[in-house]
Amino acid sequence: MHRIRTLLAPLTKRPQPGASPLPVTPLASGFLTIGTTTYIDPHGTYPLDHRPDGTPTIIINDTTHPLTILTESDNSHPATARPHNLPPPLVLAPGERTKTRRGDGVRVG
């Protein structure tokens, strides 16, 4: 009997009828290329690895959503707010591409 309760435990976490739906970030359709890796219909944040030889990393936004190149200082917390002398975050519109040496990740949307 204990085994059956263990298997059914995730069912108790399902939304109940009449509950508001969970917010879902829309998927971008298309392709996101970071360096030599291509993601299909991406959503969320993807790591931006920099090459050891210092060459810039190519980012190609062939999606329906804009992309933002994130750095550690792109945080909304006041203690870690971005200093005013840094350039603004790099945003790529759908269809754009760039090569960059800065940033820690790429956020879709």
Query: Per the structure, how many domains does the chain have?
Result: 1
pLDDT value, residue 23: 52
**Does residue 82 belong to any structural domain of this protein?**
yes
**Does residue 39 belong to any structural domain of this protein?**
yes
**Does residue 13 belong to any structural domain of this protein?**
no
pLDDT value, residue 52: 87
- Summarize pLDDT for 60-101 with one digit per residue, the tens: 999 999 999 988 754 444 555 555 666 678 899 999 999 999
pLDDT value, residue 28: 82
* Arithmetic mean of pLDDT, 29-46: 93
**Does residue 3 belong to any structural domain of this protein?**
no
**Does residue 65 belong to any structural domain of this protein?**
yes
pLDDT value, residue 27: 73
**Does residue 83 belong to any structural domain of this protein?**
yes
pLDDT at 6 over 60: no
**Does residue 36 belong to any structural domain of this protein?**
yes
Q: Are 96 and 61 in contact (CB under 8 A)?
A: yes
Structural domain including 30 reads 25-108
**Does residue 64 belong to any structural domain of this protein?**
yes
H/E stretch holding 70 reads strand 67-70
The pTM is what?
A: 0.65
Secondary structure E strands in 1-109: 30-34, 37-40, 44-47, 57-63, 67-70, 90-92, 97-100, 105-108
